[in-house]
Amino acid sequence: MKHYHILSRISIYLLSLVMIVFGVFHFIKPHDLLVYVPPSLPGGIMWAYFTGSAFILVGLAFITNNMVKAAGYLLAGLLILFVLIIHIPNYLNAGDPEMRTMALINILKDTAIAGFAMHIAAGAFHQHMNLDNSD
């Protein structure tokens, strides 16, 4: 079942690339993302930079195969937090049907990525992907 492991690594590299691109976007256009930070949360623009850094670090951890378990679970937790404190309130409070649809898409996207991150983390062995136990 070597093909399974090759396809699994390719999938992880694709997620890593997506996370790095998301992270870079947080640094390039932080003010575009500031509208998603709840007004009750102090720190403002700092959260865009923090999230961008987290996304880039997770992508690098998956690519280098270091700290995979920690990175996967932290990414999943961060994305679930986004769903709960950003996307669901946006969905519930959106007056415009198009904005409501975008909020739902963000809920689904972040939930799917969180699920994949948990799957990666659960398959990690001693902070590395467990490639030794092939079927």
Give the structural domain span for 80. 2-34+42-129
Determine the pLDDT at residue 135: 42
In a domain, 83, yes or no: yes
* pLDDT averaged per 10 residues in sequence order, the chain, 135 residues: 74 94 95 81 87 96 91 96 92 89 94 94 69 50
Provide the domain count of the chain: 1
Cα separation, 30 vs 45, whole angstroms? 7
In a domain, 135, yes or no: no
